[in-house]
Structure 1
Amino acid sequence: MKPISGKQIVLGVCGGIAAYKSVELLRLFQKAGADVKVVMTENAQQFVGSMTFEAISGHPVFREMYGGNPDAQMRHIAWAEAADAVVIAPATANIIGKLANGIADDALTTLMLAVTAPKIICPSMNTHMYENRAVQRNLDVLEGDGYVIVDPGEGELACGSVGAGRLPEPEYIFDRVAGVFSPKDFKGKRVLVTAGPTREFIDPVRFVSNPSSGKMGYAVAKAAADRGADVTLVSGPTGLETPFGVRRVDVVSAAEMAEAVLARMNDADIIIKVAAVADYTPMEKANYKIKKTDGGISVSMERTVDILVELGRRKTHQILVGFAAETQDLKKNALEKLKRKNLDMIAGNLVNDSSSGFNSDTNKLNFFYKDGSMEELPEMDKEAAAHVMLDRITSRIIRR
């Protein structure tokens, strides 16, 4: 289950061109199982109509303190007390200044003074406004008061200038909020994760690889970071963004992956090897592109270093978790790898299943443990599966 499921979230929307992104953010929260109520400033209503948020959220929008509705007069207290978190996106320079100085002159600022739950601020404004000393000073005050500040992105802004000030994409804000809700049971743990494929080049333009997208490994790294771990991610070539709070090391080949992982293993408490590393690499790489001919070509291959075997042989105090991507005999093959590679736990899946194959957004994992027991998970998205894996590492290995 995702950390955000079942949570009560108040979404504050301020008057900026990026207010339209708040609609998508609302949808993401709801899709994850959260109940969302929306508070809009007067200026926000100039950019997005309140009916849009009411139709999607299923709740009336809180727009003004005294609007003739008797319920609204205490709504700021009721919503503040019920909230598991309040997210203001976009947050303008005006709202940031008011909150930093304790001003409560409308529905949103009054509600914020009554909130004791986590408060997340997502600044969005012109670059010069964002870099203004007063705005930066106010953000420092809010951070000191315990607010979570989601830094704006950089790029071309609505005003035509280029620089910092863009509201991050809703998916990024969602991930930061989900991280706030994650348990911090991995705080103080150093976690090393591998992800993605490797590429074994035949010549400068051709290589042997596999279809691994890296999504599962990145989900594990993100979940561990959200739960307080110091995370290093050794990644093969992917098109994925580095999760917030994760230190990333990029590699290409199996040899580079082995070197990077083995060099860092002594600093890790937990090693989770999700990467789909090539088992074979060409014995020789051509210096130039091999020209096409009418006949075939023959490429001699040799074994790469089995990184898990080396980790299992060298480990001292580390918890070692592996992955087994199989097409048949999952239990037999996974248990054999668990024993032979000296693992504490192995997660297996059938990659010829469309719901758990390479590049899928979901996975159907089976966990196998040292005592010979196993656990079969239902199909779920990879981030949820990553959290279940960390739950099991805690309950079945760390606390045993």
Structure 2
Amino acid sequence: MKNSKKIILAITGSIAAVKTYDAIRMFQNDGYDVQCVVSNGGENFISRLALESLSGYPVLGPDIFSFPNFENKELTIQNYNKKNSSEIFAHIECTKNIEAVVVLPASANFLADFSQGRATNFLSSMMLANTKPVVLCPAMNSHMWNNSAVQNNIKIIKILYANTQNSNNLEIVEPQKSGILACGDEGVGKLALLENIKLYLEKLLTKNYHKNNIHNKTVVINLGGTQEKIDPVRFIGNFSSGETGKIIAEQCFILGAKKVICIVGNVSVCFQHLEEIENFEIIYLANNSAQEMLAATEKYVKEADIVIFTAAVADFTPKNYLDIKIKKVKKVKKIHSDDNLATHLMLELQETIDIAKYSTEQYKNNIYNKKIFIGFALETEKNIEKYKQIIQKKCEDKNLDYVLGNTPQNFSQNKNSQNFNYLVYSKKTQNFTESSEFLDKKTFFKEFLKYIPCNS
């Protein structure tokens, strides 16, 4: 079954073309149909049959007249019917009903053609006729990438788009900052990570993202769990993968955030790909303690427009830390004895500081404060009215602008699902909002972030 969205994946002459097989699957999993266009150089690195098998569409190019019927010498444009006419003008027609063109990889030769407006083959002709958004993903040797001619071509392409009505229709996903290249050299030039290319495409296709309340804002997100050490090998903590915080961070980027600062505690998801994007600053905690997360949050919240507390911070920490491992001592059970086989360990705990409450206290009393504070709550209360009371009280006690809670249905019936139905409480309106259906986190947070009213 075909998807409602379609993109053109253009492949040029770079060894990174071998990544296009994975890219096709990635885009398809994200709901896109993919049709491939190859340049003369790109055709040397990949198999047309493999591309057609994966995409389900015929491969276009490399020659501008490389469609089957054109080999008929008696064929003329005059006696061509409308259907066949679209084949003659395929370099024009193929982009009319698509969302975007993704050039992956974009070689130095392609960048030269594109910047100079050349129409030497199917791909370069298609790019001249195209009016849809374009994502360029350069990949080449470090010396080639750093060559002033290549960098000038990049600048020219940016200027050409900036001077047209399509100024928001271009994203250039620069190569990875460092890595081992196919030639054995190490340095810049390696194709950007596919996850990041997908993020840039989503950003480009997010209509009017510059009009939402995340655009051009600095967002600070703390995420993951904290670990309160008992001894060198044991700790108290909360379950947390960091996935929610990661999804929110990515959606903030897609919606045009100027900067996204992630304060990362103990997580099971990877943030390495985000380090390659200049809009992100990833702060990894060394010890993952609540105190360390508080210090980092306090440091970065100063420059934030929006602060989002997704971290699962442990509520308690041992009062006394032991610097040697606590040994498990077994007792020998005697006949007619009531002694247990093992001793009981008693821990004296104290509450950790509430990071969200502490942060709002520093800024909310300032009448010039323009920051938005958003918190999360996960409770086991199954009575919906009591649950709402808990959410509302948390919002008021911590002086937050919004609190998002996992509903009791999420916690019990939907525990292992990727779809959620968050209950959102707004302090300003004093109302609860709940979506009418379960949504995946990506969809929910994109819609939530898009419409939160900022205090600016």
Q: Give the TM-score band, short-chain normalised.
A: 0.7 to 0.9
- In structure 1, distance between residues paired with 2:181 and 2:306: 42
Pair 217,47 (structure 1): closer, same or farther in 2 beyond 3 Å: same
Which residue of the partner structure matches residue 322 of structure 1? 375
Structure 1 position 255 matched with structure 2 position 295: no
Q: How far apart in 1 are the matches of 2:119 and 2:146?
A: 25
Partner of 1:297, secondary structure, is coil
Give the counterpart of 2:172 among 126, 133, 149. Answer: 149
> What is the aligned partner in structure 2 of residue 125 from structure 1?
140
1:331 to 1:125, Cα distance in 2 relative to 1, 3 A: same
Displacement of 1:28? 2.1
Question: Secondary structure at 2:51's aligned position in 1?
Answer: helix
Name the SS for the 1:120 alignment partner. strand
What is the TM-score with the length of structure 2 in the denominator?
A: 0.77
Hey, what's the Cα distance between the residues in 1 that align with 2:280 and 2:438?
26
In terms of mean alpha carbon deviation, does 181-190 or 361-370 score higher? 361-370
Which shifted more, 193-202 or 51-60? Answer: 51-60
- Determine if the alignment matches structure 1 residue 194 to structure 2 residue 222: yes
Residue in 2 that maps onto 1:383: 442
Matched AA of 1:150: V
After TM superposition, the structure 1 = structure 2 runs for residues 203-242 of structure 1, keeping only pairs within 5 Å, are 203-229=231-257, 230-238=259-267, 239-241=269-271
Please tell me whether residue 170 in structure 1 is matched to residue 194 in structure 2: yes
Map 1:6-17 → 2, pairs under 5 A: 6-17=4-15
Preserved CA contact (<8 Å) 1:215 1:382: no
Q: CA 1:297–1:32 in 2, change beyond 3 Å: closer, same or farther?
A: same
Maintained 8 Å contact 1:356/1:363: no
How many angstroms does 1:207 deviate by? Answer: 1.9
Secondary structure of 1:24's counterpart equals helix
**1:219 and 1:384 mapped to 2: Cα distance?**
10
Equivalent-residue separation in structure 1 for 2:41 and 2:325 (angstroms): 60
CA-CA distance at 1:120 after TM superposition = 1.4
C-alpha deviation, 1:133, in angstroms:
3.2
Distance across 1 between alignment mates of 2:294 and 2:415: 26
Q: Which residue of 1 aligns with 2:391?
A: 334
* 1:349-389 CA distance string (max 9 Å, x none): 157448556xx755442223332323136444332222022
Deviations 1:190-212 (A, max 9, x none): 32222111111122332222221
Secondary structure of 2:65's aligned partner: coil
Residue 280 of structure 2: aligned partner: 246
Contact 1:25–1:171, Cα closer than 8 Å, also in 2: no
- TM-score, structure 1 length as denominator? 0.87
Local SS of the residue matching 1:165: coil
Percent sequence identity over aligned pairs: 33
Contact 1:192/1:272, CA 8 A, preserved across alignment:
yes
Provide the residue aligned with 2:424 in structure 1: 367
- 1:35 paired with 2:33, answer yes
Shift of 1:233: 2.0
Cα distance in 2, alignment partners of residues 107 and 237 from structure 1? 50
Match of 2:309 in 1: 273
Tell me what 1:19 maps to.
17
State the distance in 2 between where 1:144 and 1:353 align: 54
Between stretches 298-307 and 198-207, larger displacement belongs to: 198-207
Q: Is the 8 A contact 2:255 2:450 kept in 1?
A: no
